């Protein structure tokens, strides 16, 4: 199973991700301050693997990256 996280590699990635949804820069900053989203890698538990996904690959290659967790041992998506 693959699970999205509220973590982004950089502030620019978070801005890119949310700008695609019509959310403004000031609101991305608010999300960070209120700990709704985070900049940096999430903590991994045993049996989890970190993935980086380009959310909007057709827009600007390499931007809008977001962290996902892959649960290891899940035979459905392995």
Is residue 78 a part of any domain in this protein? no
In this prediction, residue 74 carries a pLDDT of: 58
Q: How many CB atoms lie within 10 A of CB 48?
A: 14
Domain count, the chain: 1
List pLDDT tens digits, range 14-68: 999 999 899 999 999 999 999 999 999 999 999 999 999 988 776 667 778 999 9
* 10 is a domain residue: yes
Residue 59 maps to a domain: yes
In a 10 Å sphere around its CB, with 0-12 CB exposed, 13-18 middle and 19+ buried, how is residue 40 labelled?
exposed
Count of Cβ atoms closer than 10 Å to residue 41 Cβ: 13
What's the pTM value of the predicted model, to 2 decimals? Answer: 0.83
Residue 76 within a domain:
no
Structure tokens at 3: 């699970």
Q: By residue range, what is the domain housing residue 22?
A: 2-71
Whether residue 25 lies inside any domain: the answer is yes
How far is residue 45's CA from residue 3's CA, in Å, rounded to a whole number? 13
SS3 at position 65:
strand
């Amino acid at each position: 199973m693959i699970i999205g996280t509220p973590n982004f590699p950089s502030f620019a990635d978070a801005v890119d991700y949310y700008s695609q949804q019509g959310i403004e820069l000031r609101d991305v900053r608010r999300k960070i301050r209120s700990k709704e989203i985070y900049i940096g890698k999430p903590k991994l538990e045993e049996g989890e693997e970190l993935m980086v996904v380009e959310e909007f690959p057709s827009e600007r290659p390499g931007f809008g990256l977001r962290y996902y967790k892959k649960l290891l041992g899940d035979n459905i998506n392995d």
